Amino acid sequence: MLDKKKKLKKELRLIDVFAIAAGTTLSAGFFLLPGLAAEQAGPALVLAYILAAVPLIPAMLSVVELATAMPKAGGVYYFLDRSLGPLVGTIGGIGTWLALILKVAFALIGMGAYISLFIPEVPITPLAIGLAVALGVLNIFGAKKSGGFQIILVAGLLAILFLFIGTGIPKLNYEHFNNFLGSGFDSIIATAGMVYISYVGVTKVASLAEEIKDPERNLPLGVFMALGMSILIYILGTSVMVGLLPMSELIGNLTPVASAAEVIMGDYGMVILSIAAILAFVSVANAGTMSASRYPLAMSRDHIMPTYFGKLGKFDTPVYSIILTVSIIIVLLIAFDPTGIAKLASAFQLLIFALVSLAVIVMRESRIESYDPGYKSPFYPWLQLFGIVSALYLIFEMGAIPIIFSTGLVIMGGLWYWFYARDKVERTGAIYHVFERWGKSRYDGIDVELRGILKEKGLRKGDPFDQIVMQSKVFELTEDTDFEKAVDLTAKWVAKQLPLSKEEIIKRVMEGTRVGATPVTRGVALPHFRCEGIDHSMLVLLRIKSGIDIPIFNPLTYEEEDVQRVTAIFFLISPEKDPTQHLRMLAQIAGRVDEESFAEEWYAAKDEQELKEALLHDENFQALLVFHGKKTESFINKQLKEIEFPSGCLVTLLQRGSEIIIPKGSTKILEGDRITIIGDPESMQQLRKLYMN
């Protein structure tokens, strides 16, 4: 049975994201396709590459938004499934997976044209198969290892490409650009559609979002850096090829970069750029294998593919999914010529990216509060509408064969869903939340799943969770009581802080409990609501050592169906204006409560301060004891403002005996004081090095 709790390791850094995104982009599109593009567009192939990037921009921004909201394995499949429903998700997942496999096979075969320039006797297909197997083995050992290999490949590739461009630009023959638009607008647009496949790799890293550290920062930044670098290299590089090679030599040339390098640096240049081409093809094959193998993993989690494709091996990688992906690549290398088929994948990618733009519209219009992207694409919804229209227009301009190919993939995905997955899937997409606004049905499972993702993502930089915990109100209930009395006690205190009466607060909490909006987990209840007229969240902590019973209501019938015993109640009240921050902090509390260490620390806490510290993560706070003989002895008899703490640290509480003191800059520190400090993990690490014995 598939263990959904076992997660992929978060090992990919910003440099890994950039290297994977750039590595899947700078390959055949640069080293092979310019010669084929010249057959249709002539010198305007440079313009075709620029135009090809235009419909990618909305798709890229949409993919990044969806990936920062839902950083899960499967990328485009997962986004389409959760927004437009499992039928569209199946079509998008299987089609994108196969298109990516075709691109990998294309890259492995593409090496042959360059290798044959100086080692003509090397058998290309066996070499490509051997490399496919080697990359599969490397991927089984983990994303960190294959990501590190990717960095080396991309660094070497970029160095050689900048050498090629830097030495080629001064030698351009501008007469080669004469009659620039002579091939006609329609041919240029059709060429743009053909070379569109050159760029699509930049978004493939989204399928690895579950393995990216701090995806809300590293994913957008890495993708934007890779796209900017790729567009620059494509424009300058194709300009060098056109400017150095007569059109008669460029048209149909399968090694245009090597031919141009030979003009600049002779045979030496041809060898160097052939090495760069091989690096590029290996790079895209490695990154493509890594990305493609996450599609069966994600689809198996959702029962769209057999569950064993979701099993993780010894190194926490999807072994069976990688084996399947590599096996299909080998079959393609043996049985087919992928070069012609891979070009057709451009049309299907255009269709998928049109659907991705639609997915952003659906997710936003669903108004699901737990849809919380770390990056929001600008100019909504006009950018997404342009992405849909421009992608469909390019498909139309590419002609009948690409349209037929895309239609075939759609039919294949639809048949797989209908005959295999339909009876195994019990969910719909966020589009039903849009339908609900029009009077039709909705599916709350997507909201539950997004809340789970919030829990996995954790807090966003700037969320004041630690401060709110340290400033929370604590009640210790030692006598027998019930849930209503606990709510009454809390409401009496909260009413002094909010523009609501005690009765209104009680009504909100009790109604939330009746409709199933009060989470209860591991003996802790989490009543919560949002309120207008306040500018920051507040938290009330209740410890009830004897325990109380809290009723559990059926959210559909509103009838009481169970009673659970709890020994802690946490009331969270947040501003109405920021629902996603409220959900992030609620998810943070729930995540901490689920940790094995929480219950022991909570019940063992001796005072109010230790109760608050039990709710915080160790890496985010530190309690310092001030005594002679410790590193903190320098604090004694100093004012707080005279003590140097690392940047990013905040002193929140000071305990002196049984007294809790809210610290000020003028507060004098005495021996025996206990100082509680919160901050980001890096600042806390510096603090411990300075003051912990």
Which domain CATH number covers 481? 3.40.930.10
Q: Looking up tokens 């930049």, which residue turns up?
A: 202
Q: In the predicted model, is pLDDT for residue 381 greater than 70?
A: yes
Domain boundary among 424, 441, 473: 424
More confidently predicted of 498 and 29: 498
Is 1 inside any structural domain?
Answer: no
pLDDT in tens, 616-651: 766 777 888 888 888 888 889 999 888 888 888 888
Q: Do 634 and 569 belong to one domain?
A: no
Q: Do 188 and 324 belong to one domain?
A: yes
Q: In the predicted model, is pLDDT for residue 342 greater than 70?
A: no
CATH number at residue 238: 1.20.1740.10
More confidently predicted of 120 and 666: 666
- Using an 8 Å Cβ cutoff, are 385 and 109 in contact? no
Please give the Cα distance from 666 to 625 (Å, whole number).
Answer: 19
- Among residues 51, 56, 88, 71, the alpha carbon closest in space to that of 188 is found at 51
Domain boundary among 568, 587, 616: 616
Is 7 inside any structural domain?
Answer: no
What average pLDDT does range 436-455 have in this prediction?
A: 54
Q: In the predicted model, is pLDDT for residue 432 greater than 50?
A: no
Is 245 inside any structural domain?
Answer: yes
pLDDT at 431: 46
Q: In the predicted model, is pLDDT for residue 243 greater than 70?
A: yes
598 pLDDT band, cuts 50/70/90, is confident
pLDDT at 207: 64
Q: In the predicted model, is pLDDT for residue 434 greater than 70?
A: no
303: Cβ–Cβ under 8 A, 6 or more apart, which residues? 421, 424, 425
Q: Looking up tokens 């437009």, which residue turns up?
A: 84
pLDDT at 5: 44
Q: Do 89 and 135 belong to one domain?
A: yes
pLDDT at 385: 93
Is 447 inside any structural domain?
Answer: no
Q: Do 289 and 417 belong to one domain?
A: yes
Q: In the predicted model, is pLDDT for residue 223 greater than 70?
A: yes
244 pLDDT band, cuts 50/70/90, is very high
- Among residues 144, 291, 299, 290, the alpha carbon closest in space to that of 204 is found at 291
Q: In the predicted model, is pLDDT for residue 463 greater than 90?
A: no
Q: Do 536 and 680 belong to one domain?
A: no
74 pLDDT band, cuts 50/70/90, is low
4 pLDDT band, cuts 50/70/90, is very low
Is 522 inside any structural domain?
Answer: yes
- Using an 8 Å Cβ cutoff, are 403 and 395 in contact? yes
**Counting Cβ atoms within 10 Å, is residue 127 exposed (0-12), middle (13-18) or buried (19+)?**
middle
pLDDT at 37: 85
Q: Do 558 and 661 belong to one domain?
A: no
Token pair of 329, please?
A: 């690549």
Q: Do 691 and 566 belong to one domain?
A: no
239 pLDDT band, cuts 50/70/90, is very high
Q: Do 562 and 662 belong to one domain?
A: no
187 pLDDT band, cuts 50/70/90, is confident
Which of these ranges, 108-117, 365-374, 433-442, has the smallest mean pLDDT?
Answer: 433-442
Torsion of CA 340, 345, 350, 355, to 10 degrees: 160
Q: Do 467 and 416 belong to one domain?
A: no
Q: Which amino acid is at 422?
A: R
CA separation, residue 684 to residues 214, 376, 617, 687 (Å): 18, 31, 11, 5
Q: In the predicted model, is pLDDT for residue 507 greater than 90?
A: no
Is 440 inside any structural domain?
Answer: no
Q: Do 602 and 639 belong to one domain?
A: no
What average pLDDT does range 157-184 have in this prediction?
A: 88
144 pLDDT band, cuts 50/70/90, is low
Q: Provide the domain limits for residue 135.
A: 14-336+344-424
pLDDT at 438: 43
384 pLDDT band, cuts 50/70/90, is very high
Q: Do 157 and 67 belong to one domain?
A: yes
What average pLDDT does range 212-223 have in this prediction?
A: 81
Length of the chain, in residues: 693
Please give the Cα distance from 352 to 611 (Å, whole number).
Answer: 50
- Cα dihedral across residues 462, 467, 469, 474: positive or negative: negative
28 pLDDT band, cuts 50/70/90, is low
Percent of the chain's residues with pLDDT above 70: 84
pLDDT at 241: 92
Q: Do 224 and 183 belong to one domain?
A: yes
pLDDT at 340: 57
Domain boundary among 378, 401, 424: 424
Is 3 inside any structural domain?
Answer: no
What average pLDDT does range 374-395 have in this prediction?
A: 88
Q: In the predicted model, is pLDDT for residue 681 greater than 60?
A: yes
Number of structural domains, the chain? 3
Is 446 inside any structural domain?
Answer: no
Q: In the predicted model, is pLDDT for residue 382 greater than 90?
A: yes
pLDDT at 449: 59
CATH number at residue 638: 3.30.70.1450
- Using an 8 Å Cβ cutoff, are 332 and 105 in contact? yes
Please give the Cα distance from 91 to 455 (Å, whole number).
Answer: 29
